């Protein structure tokens, strides 16, 4: 179906704006993505795109227009809006004139056993920008996805989606309580490597298994003793200087790229 | 001098609030820092603290109170404010009740030759959070400072200061046009290693010199040809996956930690 909407107070436009709130994202199990690249990745990876919204006046990219032309509007809605309506919900100044409402995809814990490879476990991550950057790095090293433990920020938050630069669509996303995760771990024997700010083996000295979860603590507290207890090994990132820790997404990425380098047998 | 201010419309309190704007920070060559750790680092590293502001009702840390007690108010101003006044300028919800106005410190390009070691050059960095995270990582690997080229975000922006977790005080900060930097480079012969998204030697294969600048491109464009031309070597971070680049602060940190690992002769 193709629809033209000329008013920013149209109920559908209003519902798109409301996806900025976590509550509405949870209720509808959808989220908002914006920009040629992000929308392109949503379509390329066969996400369920409920609404594809575009503004002909703003969309001056060939690839962007191709996305519109090849969109299957038999079961979904293609929405044509004027500039002022697009700008009423756009997140970016100078928007590219293409956006989408996409169905959230969540995977169960059992997906880890099924897929194998490298996964990133995050305890109580708070900053959506950090979460998105971790998704981006995980994609870059061929990681499979993330496991969000306990009280965590929303991976479908606009800041996470933007920082992921499309990796929100390629990475599998799992959410679990620590209790459930711990039970799954005790039954699955899937290797779990924690990172710790303190006395532990250097992240450069450890030989990482092919299938594993890299477990990171929260920005404020790091890994807690209950987490460390279920880890098969704990590694640390040695540092000099005055700061006593790194940004969470940076610490996660440094270890991820070490794992990646080991697997690729980089010359060293 | 000790001063008690009970009104949020006091001119001094108003001037503190105005430090959220880049214009005011530039005019006064000062910036605002908040929280026990950041203020503690400012004092520990002997920064010029023009105003130390505290709120006895909010400040319940021994270390925080010790900072107040040992503050030399002979030449600077210690300001006691009630809760509502502190909250009127505080950046954080649930502030710790201690903040400071600190003099900006800029170093000249010649500082690089004098100090040697590892430096990070950043072309047109836009996001203050990225800049602060790079300062934090640079401190963590014993780096000496950053060089900001051309049109760059303000390192004294509150988001940069916060993300640096104190490294804003330990890292030397230099600002220069690319033209001036290029001239300095041609005269100093200081080694310059660029990072590039594309065909170049792997960042893990290169043997980094003891004294060097790691040059990073902007978030949007990476390193441009004029930058690449003056580099002594260019390295790349190999990746798999669908994303074609990493977050700037993550890419910088991955290379920094490789350099650090080489210098420390980690077992590998």
Residue B268 confidence class, pLDDT cut points 50, 70, 90: very low
Whether residue A243 contacts residue B165, with contact meaning beta carbons closer than 8 Å, is answered with: yes
Q: What is the pLDDT of residue A267?
A: 43
Rounded to an integer, the average pLDDT of B61-83 is 89
Note whether B241 contacts A141, CB cutoff 8 Å.
Answer: yes
Nearest CA-CA distance, residue A40 and chain B, Å = 12
Distance of alpha carbon A204 from alpha carbon A132, whole angstroms: 25
Note whether B243 contacts A202, CB cutoff 8 Å.
Answer: no
Distance of alpha carbon B12 from alpha carbon B7, whole angstroms: 10
Q: CB within 8 A of B235, min separation 6: which ones? A: B193, B194, B195, B196, B200, B201, B202, B203, B206, B255
Q: In chain A, count of helices (H) and strands (E)?
A: 12, 12
Match 């003099």 to its residue by tokens.
B103
The per-residue pLDDT for range A18-70, each reduced to its tens digit, is: 999 999 999 999 999 999 999 999 999 999 999 999 999 999 999 999 999 98
List strands edge to edge, sheet with A98-103: A2-4, A77-80, A49-54, A98-103, A30-34
Query: Chain A 143-182, CB below 8 Å of chain B: which residues?
Result: 143, 163, 165-167, 170
- The share of chain B scoring above pLDDT 70, in percent, equals 99
The per-residue pLDDT for range B195-245, each reduced to its tens digit, is: 988 889 999 999 999 999 999 998 888 899 999 999 999 999 999 888 889
Nearest CA-CA distance, residue A261 and chain B, Å = 8
Residue A74 confidence class, pLDDT cut points 50, 70, 90: confident
Distance of alpha carbon B88 from alpha carbon B16, whole angstroms: 10
Rounded to an integer, the average pLDDT of B139-161 is 96
The per-residue pLDDT for range B236-264, each reduced to its tens digit, is: 999 988 888 999 999 999 999 999 999 87
Rounded to an integer, the average pLDDT of B59-85 is 90
Note whether B141 contacts A261, CB cutoff 8 Å.
Answer: no
Instruction: Give the closest residue to B258 by CA, choosing from A103, A253, A107.
Output: A253
Query: Chain A 59-88, CB below 8 Å of chain B: which residues?
Result: none
How many other CB atoms are there within 10 angstroms of residue A140's CB atom? 28
Q: What is the pLDDT of residue B267?
A: 42
Distance of alpha carbon A78 from alpha carbon A71, whole angstroms: 8
| Region at A184 (left for phi over 0; alpha for psi -120 to 50; beta for the rest) | alpha
Q: Is the pLDDT of residue A75 over 50?
A: yes
Cα A90 versus chain centre, distance? 20
Query: What residue ranges define each of the domains in chain A, with the CATH number in brackets?
Result: 2-103 (3.30.1330.30), 110-263 (3.40.1280.10)
Nearest CA-CA distance, residue A187 and chain B, Å = 30
Distances from the Cα of B26 to the Cα of A48, A110, B21, B90, angstroms: 48, 55, 9, 20
Closest alpha carbon within chain A to B131:
A247
Q: Is the pLDDT of residue B54 over 90?
A: yes
* Beta pairing partners, B9: none
Cα A160 versus chain centre, distance? 6
Whether residue A196 contacts residue A223, with contact meaning beta carbons closer than 8 Å, is answered with: yes
Match 């460390």 to its residue by tokens.
A228
The complex's ipTM works out to 0.93
Query: Chain B 84-123, CB below 8 Å of chain A: which residues?
Result: none
Q: What is the pLDDT of residue B221?
A: 85
Q: What is the CA radius of gyration of chain A?
A: 20
């Amino acid at each position: 179906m193709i629809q033209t909407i000329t008013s920013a107070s149209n109920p559908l436009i209003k519902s798109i704006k409301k996806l900025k709130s976590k509550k509405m994202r949870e209720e509808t199990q959808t989220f908002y993505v914006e920009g040629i690249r992000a929308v392109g990745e949503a379509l390329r990876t066969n996400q369920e795109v409920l609404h594809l919204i575009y503004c002909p006046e703003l969309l001056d990219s060939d690839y962007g227009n191709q996305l519109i032309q090849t969109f299957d509007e038999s079961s979904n809605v293609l929405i044509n809006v004027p500039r002022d309506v697009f700008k009423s919900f756009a997140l970016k100044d100078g928007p590219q004139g293409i956006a989408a409402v996409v169905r959230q995809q969540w995977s169960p814990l059992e997906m880890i056993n099924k897929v194998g490879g490298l996964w990133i476990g995050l305890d109580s991550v708070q900053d959506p920008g950090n979460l998105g950057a971790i998704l981006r790095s995980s994609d870059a090293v061929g990681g499979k996805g993330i496991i969000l433990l306990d009280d965590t920020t929303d991976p479908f938050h606009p800041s996470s989606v933007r920082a992921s630069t499309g990796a929100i669509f390629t990475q599998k996303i799992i959410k679990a309580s620590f209790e459930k995760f711990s039970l799954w771990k005790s039954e699955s024997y899937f290797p779990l490597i924690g990172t710790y700010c303190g006395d532990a083996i250097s992240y450069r000295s450890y030989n990482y298994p092919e299938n594993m979860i890299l477990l990171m603590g929260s920005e404020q507290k790091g890994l807690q003793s209950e987490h460390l207890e279920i880890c098969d090994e704990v590694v640390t990132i040695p540092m000099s200087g005055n700061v006593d820790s790194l940004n969470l997404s940076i610490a996660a990425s440094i270890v991820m790229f070490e794992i990646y380098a080991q697997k690729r047998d980089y010359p060293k």
